[in-house]
């Protein structure tokens, strides 16, 4: 696995510390000499000093054919240009572009960047989800909020408790991916019984989240 980490400061160092070793070929490019020195010293990885949106910088740092190219600089357009160059000229399989302006998420995706991440966008999504969720439910947004994974604990007063999956007519717009029944993980089939205290991992579209939760929460 070859990963290019382009730009950034503390966030770059954190990602490098997570990815280094483990059979990963890391290419680190940073425009700041000070940040580069800090990363070399603390993470013991080589750092190419240069601008990742320049063709010669990606050439000289051998950033060809990366499995992932991660652009972390503080300028959204610099990250856009770096990702576009990596994708079209250096054959990067997947580009991750970090942006500070959340409205750039959808825009950059529409212009051809695979994955655009904004911390305020993610924060907004999770606040939106959490405000609609009560204590028994946790949710995780996937695919930029298009899909949600709901974690729901079954209570004995729920209508679905102690019934077979095929008998509860679980809605067609959602799917129970797995059930955690401590210490086991069960991949449910039609004849699986749903028991109190089971933790259901349910996948659905984000717009269906509320009605899925309402369905699970039905009481006898």
Partner 1 sequence: MKNTLVVIGCGRLGSSIANYASQSGDDVIVIDSDEASFDRLDELFSGIAKAADATDVDALEDAGLPSAREAVITTGDDNVNLFLAHLCAKKYQIPYIYVRFDDPDKGLLIQGLNVKAIYPFQLSRDRFSLLRDGTIPGEDK
Q: Would you tell me which residues interact with partner 1 (CB under 8 A)?
A: 53-56, 75-78, 80-81, 84-85, 88-89, 101, 103, 107, 110-112
Q: Which residue, 62 or 75, has its beta carbon nearer to partner 1?
A: 75
Dihedral pair phi/psi, residue 107, rounded to 5°:
-65, -50
Chain centroid to CA 171? 26
Shortest Å, Cβ 120 to partner 1: 16
CB of 28 to partner 1, least distance (A): 20
Q: Which of 124, 69, 125 is nearest to 97 (CA)?
A: 69
| 136 DSSP assignment | T
Task: In angstroms, give the least distance from the CB of 152 to partner 1.
Answer: 38
Least distance CB 97 / partner 1 (angstroms): 11
Residue 79 host element (H or E):
helix 76-88
Nearer of residues 66 and 85 to partner 1, judged by Cβ: 85
Report the residue number, 13 or 78, with the smaller CB distance to partner 1.
Answer: 78
Of 87 and 204, CB closest to partner 1: 87
Q: How far is the CB of 89 from partner 1 (least distance, A)?
A: 5
CA-to-CA dists, residue 93 to 33, 56, 63, 113, 209, angstroms: 28, 20, 12, 11, 32
Nearer to partner 1 (CB atom), residue 97 or residue 152:
97
CA-angle at 151, arms to 148 and 154, nearest 5°: 140
User: Whole-number minimum distance, CB 37 to partner 1, in Å?
Assistant: 25
Cβ distance to partner 1 smaller for residue 101 or 175: 101
Residue 130 neighbours by CB distance under 10 Å: 12
CB 123 within 8 A of CB 141: no
- Interatomic CA distance for residues 105 and 103, integer angstroms: 5
Of 16 and 105, the one with the shorter C-beta distance to partner 1 is 105
Q: How far is the CB of 139 from partner 1 (least distance, A)?
A: 30
The secondary structure of residue 155, as a DSSP letter, is P
Please tell me the distance from the alpha carbon of residue 209 to that of residue 149, in angstroms, as a whole number: 9
List the beta bridge partners of residue 149.
140, 203
């Amino acid at each position: 696995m070859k990963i290019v980490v382009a730009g950034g400061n503390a966030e770059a160092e954190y990602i490098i510390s997570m990815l280094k070793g483990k059979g990963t070929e890391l290419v680190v490019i940073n425009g700041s000499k000070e940040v580069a020195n800090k990363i070399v010293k603390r993470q013991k990885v080589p750092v190419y000093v240069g601008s990742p949106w320049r063709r010669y910088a990606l050439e000289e740092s051998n950033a060809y054919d990366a499995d992932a190219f991660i652009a972390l600089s503080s300028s959204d357009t610099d990250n856009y240009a770096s990702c576009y160059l990596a994708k079209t000229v250096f054959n990067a399989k997947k580009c991750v572009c970090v942006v500070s302006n959340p409205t750039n998420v959808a825009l950059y995706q529409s212009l051809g960047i695979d994955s655009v991440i904004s911390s305020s966008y993610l924060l907004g999504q999770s606040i939106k989800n959490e405000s609609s969720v009560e204590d028994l439910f946790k949710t995780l947004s996937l695919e930029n909020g298009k899909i949600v994974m709901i974690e729901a604990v079954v209570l004995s007063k729920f209508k679905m408790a102690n019934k077979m999956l095929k008998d509860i007519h679980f809605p067609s717009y959602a799917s129970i991916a797995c059930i955690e029944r401590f210490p086991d993980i069960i991949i449910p089939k039609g004849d699986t019984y749903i028991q109190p205290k089971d933790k259901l991992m349910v996948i659905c579209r984000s717009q269906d989240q509320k009605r899925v939760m309402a369905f699970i929460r039905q009481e006898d």
